[in-house]
Structures are given as C-alpha cells and as structure tokens.
Amino acid sequence: MTIRFTPSPSRPHIDQLGCRDLWRAVLLTAVRDLCSGPAQWREREAAELWVGAYPRRAFRETCDLAGFDPNRVHRVLKALLALAPEDRNALFSLDAHPGPGQWQVRRRVKPNHRASVREDSHDPF
C-alpha cells in the first residue's frame, strides 16, 4: 500500500500528515502497552495478541498508514515480545522527557598504565 501526501480531490479537507501522525500514535500506544507494568496486564495481553506471530491485516494496515514497513516493525516488536514482561517494563521505566544530564555518554576513565610502568622500570625483578 502506498501512501500519498497530496490532497484527494474528493476529500480536500483531510490532513494526510495528521492522519499519518495519528496512526503513528497508535503504534506508539501498542509499544507502551507491550511494555506496561503488571497493573495494565489486560492492555499488555491485547497488544501481544495484536502483534501476533505474524503481521495480520490490521497490523499491516496500521503500519502502512503510519508510513512504516510492516515487516520491519513486526520484527522489532517480536524481538520485544521475546523479553519477559518485567524486562520490557524496565526498558520504558525512564521518564519520557529526560533531564539534561540523563542521556549523556559516560566515558570510562582509563588507568594511567604508563606511569606505573615508569615507576617500576628501575626494578630488575
């Protein structure tokens, strides 16, 4: 299915990009439901059934309307389903809007091996 972002002559009032964003929000809700905690077990089970063992028609149409490749999205969500529900929940336990320092890359401090080699170089043993 190909998505066109040009207004249709019969429906010029429909916002194509807005519709795409709506279907992307549906996919995001499915991911959040897959990663929900124990209190939302019904939503999680419904999302697991919707993803299923293979991409069904509703799943494919949702991905197409969102502008994503259904097979690729299904592979990613199946990999997510392979995790235990606790592990899925841990993936999305961070705040949706992290603070300024939360996502900074932490560099490992390398020990200064050269200094220790120079200090021990005078010892023959």
Q: For 95-120, write each residue's pLDDT tens digit.
A: 444 444 444 444 444 555 454 445 55
Residue numbers of the domain that contains 55: 16-120
Q: Which amino acid is at 53?
A: A
pTM score, whole prediction: 0.62
SS3 47: helix
**Is 79 or 89 the better-scoring residue by pLDDT?**
79
Q: Which of 5-9, 20-24, 36-40, 86-90 shows the lowest mean pLDDT across its residues?
A: 5-9
Q: Give one DSSP letter per residue of 18-45, joined into a string.
A: HHHHHHHHHHHHHHHHHT--GGGHHHHH
Whether 11 is covered by a domain: the verdict is no
Number of domains in the chain: 1
Whether 45 is covered by a domain: the verdict is yes
pLDDT, residue 47, reads 94
b/e sequence 29-38, b meaning 16+ C-beta within 10 Å: ebbebbbbee
pLDDT, residue 39, reads 85
